[in-house]
A and B are shown apart, each in its own frame.
Chain A
Amino acid sequence: MTEDAGRPSPVAPQEGRSGSEHPQSGKQLDARPAARPRPRISETPPPAPPAPHLADYAPIIGKSLLDELRFVARPLIGKRVKMVNSTAMGGGVAEMLSRLVPLLDELEVKTSWELMTGGNDFFEVTKSFHNALHGEKLTLTQQARDIFLLNTERNRQRMSFDEEFVVIHDPQPAGLVAGKDSSSAHWVWRCHIDLSHPNPEVWEFLRPMVERYDTAVFSSPAFARSLSIPQALFYPCIDPLSEKNKDLDESYIQAICDNFGIDRSRPIVTQISRFDRLKDPLGVIRAYKMAKKYVDFQLVLAGGGASDDPEGAIVLKEVYNATEEDPDIIVLDLPPWSALEINALQRASTIVVQKSLKEGFGLTVTEALWKGKPTIASAVGGIPTQVIDRQTGMLVHSVEGCAYQIRYLLTHQEFATQLGRNGREHVKENFLMTTNARRWLLLFRILSGLI
């Protein structure tokens, strides 16, 4: 799934932003060194550009792979797919669907996208389920079960399932599988969350529903459960044409660095992440201080989460304190619609770091690898799938390890360049939106015996 909300635009990134920019205000920036210019960040989200067409991917993945995608789709032409999730905007699943659905449509596999509806009580229950499936404690009440089942039934009655394939995303609409009785479709449950340590009560409530599907799809073998149905593996993906990942003009990258007071004539080490303890921004600053004794560089910590999360604001304050007003540590609290700025920061970086203590799949790592950046990342969550140690990046397990690898990569440019090159190829082969579309088509063919 994609994490960013941006869409690729044929318009130059600078355009459409002028007039809506303003100096960011707020207490967080008070701790910035006085000499640093105030960054200018868009106050409101820019309009979403249109989704790209299949042909737009040809320069990126090559004509032969695009042809193969069409070959895979050919026996499915005219078949219909229904995708169901619980939100149209915000979140990685909605963003991924906003890209995947038009791609499948363009391949003549007619794909519709419907939303689960319900009142606040339903979404409160599903939110609690979501957290419980991630391992949080929860006592599952009869009332919660009833609310879930009642809303599921209402949605089932509202929807028709006369397509050849029905794909239900995540636990919220999982119960729609009750509609399988009156449908000849192949049913797939796409689970985007980590089910490795679920709350047993909630999982045992959902399991009978899940096992009615023909296939479940997980993002990692480690996230899967032991089930009586086949389980496919689809890695999350990024869209190379999204605002966060598309190629940028050098002048735009320079403008962003100028805006944020970043000196591009000196090495730049960057971590992009929410200001969250699990991303260990303080550990990154400690690694910076250790490495800085040996090599000169700037550290950029950029992300969001401080404005909508009280915990994030506390972490951000701690981060500012930890900088000790070092002018070479640049802390940027960005709004959620900063995809282009983040893209530019990643591209301007000499090295990208992701020193998380806990992680899902870690799509910020995918983004850095795609940009060919030598990447240093913790061996947690889905990161080792992406960062093969010393092949596509450097895996670390401590602040000290992170500091050492920063020193090493900043002084071994050829090796660092090779890591970056391999990392990009790894993403191209395994973690792009086009690969994701190919996996869906393959699954549909396997389910319907078109092999």
Chain B
Amino acid sequence: MDKTAVQEQKRLGDPLDLRARAPFEFKSAANLMFIDRERPRNIGELLDAFHTCSEESIFQHTFRTLEEHHFIKEGFSNDFAQWTYVELGEVGLGERLASLDVREFTSLEALRSRLATIVEEYGAENPKARDREASKPFYFCSSKKIVLPPQRSAATLGEFIEGLNLVSLHSIHYHFIEARLRRKLESNDFSIWLRRDMGLEREADLLNQIDIYTSTLEGVRRKIISIVRNATQPNQAGSR
């Protein structure tokens, strides 16, 4: 699209009817949790477990737990941080682990490595903390995922907004948060579609700025819809 697609559509008709180059297909994923062998009770054992646990386990305790706790908008980041705070009482380590933003990682190996580095550095700075026992172990679990076929598709911005309103939060998580691992890109399925198939560069960037750690997933859904809807307003048109 050489000309601003939305501007052109404004001239021609309702921006909500602007047709995409290719439709967006709303998929979703379903996960089942399995109990793994690793059960660390202290920082040293946690570090060992980071080296032996499966990728599915790293996924479960970071990406997936965000989905399971999608209704919390502050104070919850990942299971490792939560355990370190609550069961181990290592607040400093908890803060460092909680500051991880899963969206900065396009591979689980990179995320695993970062987690291990944080724990290793903390252990080196706080030798006494290494053997401090938690009140209960951290039970490593892993997630087996099944991707569900598209439930609906959107060929226009109007249909896209409607789809965003109707799909499950699992679908929002799949496209907006998990997508990085699938695509190996620091972006999400919605932004990629808005940029590539709708020519909405600015909106694609704005979506990537949504803070998933200070919003519920329902709040994230509303923010996405708001950004996309604004693209159809006259003063917002021509966002490329």
Binding site for B on A (CB under 8 A): 62-65, 67-68, 71-72, 218, 221-222, 224, 226, 230-233, 384, 388-392, 421-422, 425-426, 429-430, 438-439, 442-443, 445-446, 451
Contact = CB atoms under 8 A, between A and B. Distances in A.
B30 A233 contact: no
Contacts of B35: 218, 221, 224, 231-233
Contacts of B144: 442, 446, 451
Given A231-B34, A231-B35, A72 B146 contact: yes
Nearest to A63: B166
Name the residue among A63, A64, A384, A426 with the largest chain B CB count within 10 angstroms. A64
13 contacts: A62-B168, A64-B168, A68-B148, A221-B39, A232-B35, A233-B141, A388-B69, A388-B72, A390-B75, A392-B72, A429-B71, A430-B68, A446-B32
9 pairs of A and B residues whose beta carbons are closest in the complex = A221-B139, A425-B71, A64-B168, A442-B32, A233-B33, A231-B35, A71-B148, A221-B35, A451-B146
A445 B146 CA distance: 9
B37 interface: yes
Nearest to A445: B146
A63 B168 CA distance: 9
A65 B169 CA distance: 9
Contact of A232 (B34, B151, B170): B34
Interface string B23-42: 00000101111110101000
B76 A388 contact: yes
B198 to A, nearest CB: 23
A62 B35 CA distance: 29
Given A65-B170, A67-B151, A429-B68, 4 more contacts: A233-B33, A391-B72, A426-B71, A429-B70
Interface of B: 28, 30-35, 37, 39, 68-72, 75-76, 82, 86, 136, 139, 141, 144, 146, 148-149, 151, 166-168, 170-171
Nearest to B76: A391
B137 to A, nearest CB: 8
Contacts of B149: 71
Contacts of A426: 69, 71
Contacts of A65: 168, 170
A68 B72 contact: no
Nearest to A65: B168
A422 B72 contact: yes
A68 B150 CA distance: 10
Contacts, number: 82
A430 B170 CA distance: 12
Contacts of B171: 64
Contacts of B30: 68, 72, 438, 442
Contact of B168 (A68, A222, A445): A68
B83 to A, nearest CB: 11
A285 to B, nearest CB: 27
Name the residue among B32, B68, B69 with the largest chain A CB count within 10 angstroms. B32
A231 B69 CA distance: 23
A320 B71 CA distance: 40
Contacts of B141: 221, 233
B148 A232 contact: no
Nearest to A231: B35
Nearest to A232: B34
Contacts of A422: 71-72
Contacts of B167: 64
Contacts of B37: 226
A219 to B, nearest CB: 11
Contacts of A67: 151, 168
Nearest to A215: B34
A230 B142 CA distance: 11
Nearest to B149: A71
Contacts of B170: 65, 68
Nearest to B87: A384
Given A68-B151, A429-B70, A439 B168 contact: no
B69 A222 contact: no
Contacts of B71: 421-422, 425-426, 429
A96 to B, nearest CB: 18
Name the residue among A67, A233, A389, A426 with the largest chain B CB count within 10 angstroms. A233
A389 B82 CA distance: 10
Contacts of B166: 63-64
A308 B170 CA distance: 45
Name the residue among B70, B71, B75, B141 with the largest chain A CB count within 10 angstroms. B71
Given A64-B167, A71-B149, A233-B141, A443 B32 contact: yes
Contact of A389 (B31, B69, B86, B148): B86
A68 B171 CA distance: 10
A230 B33 CA distance: 11
Contacts of B28: 68, 71
Nearest to A223: B35
Contacts of A222: 136, 139
A232 B33 contact: yes
Nearest to B165: A64
A98 B166 CA distance: 31
Contacts of A221: 35, 39, 139, 141
Contacts of A443: 32
B52 to A, nearest CB: 15
